[in-house]
Structure 1
Amino acid sequence: MESQEIYMRHSSKHDDDGRLKRRGTWVTACAHIVTAVIGSGVLSLAWAVSQLGWIAGPLALLMFSVITLFTSFLLSDCYRYPDSVHGTRNITYMTMVKNILGGRQYHLCGLAQFANLIGSTIGYTITASISMVAIKRASCFHKYGHEAKCHVSNYAYMSIFGAIEIILSQIPDFNELTGLSFIASIMSFGYSSIGIGLSIARIAGMVVGEDVTSQEKIWNSFQAIGNIAFAYSFSQDTLKSSPPENGSMKKASVTGITITTFFYMLCGLLGYAAFGNKAPGNFLTGFGFYEPYWLVDIGNVFIVVHLVGAYQVFTQPVFMLVESWCAGRWPESRIMAKEYGVDIPLVGTYRVNAFRVLWRTVYVIFTVVVAMLLPFFNSIVGLLGAIAFWPLSVYFPTEMYLVRAKVPKFSMVWIGVKLLSAFCLIVTLVAAVGSIEGIVADLKTYKPFQ
Structure 2
Amino acid sequence: MSEYDFDLFVIGAGSGGVRASRVASAYGAKVAVAEEHRVGGTCVIRGCVPKKLLVYGSHFAEDLEDAKNYGWTIEGASFSWPALRDHVLNDVDRLNAAYTTTLNNHDVHIFHERATIIAPHRVRLASGQEVSAKFILIATGARPFVPEFPGSDLCITSNEMFHLDALPKRAVIAGGGYIANEFAGILNALGTRVTVVNRGNTILRGYDEQVRDRLLQIYMTKGIEFKFKAPFEKVEKREDGTLDVYLTGHDPIHADIVLFATGRVPNVEGLGLGHVGITPDDLGAIPVDDYSKTSCDSIYAVGDVTNRVQLTPVAIREGQAFADTVFGDKPSTVDYGCIPAAVFSQPPIASVGLTEGEARNRYGNIRVYSSDFRPMRNVFAHRAERGLYKMITEEPSGRILGLHMIGPDSPEILQAAAVAVKAGLTKQAFDDTVALHPSMAEELVLLK
TM-score range normalised by the length of the shorter chain = under 0.3
More helix as a share of residues: 1
The structure number with the bigger radius of gyration is: 2
More strand as a share of residues: 2
**TM-score under structure 1 length normalisation:** 0.25
**TM-score under structure 2 length normalisation:** 0.25
Structure ranking higher on relative contact order (CA contacts 8 Å, 6+ apart): 1
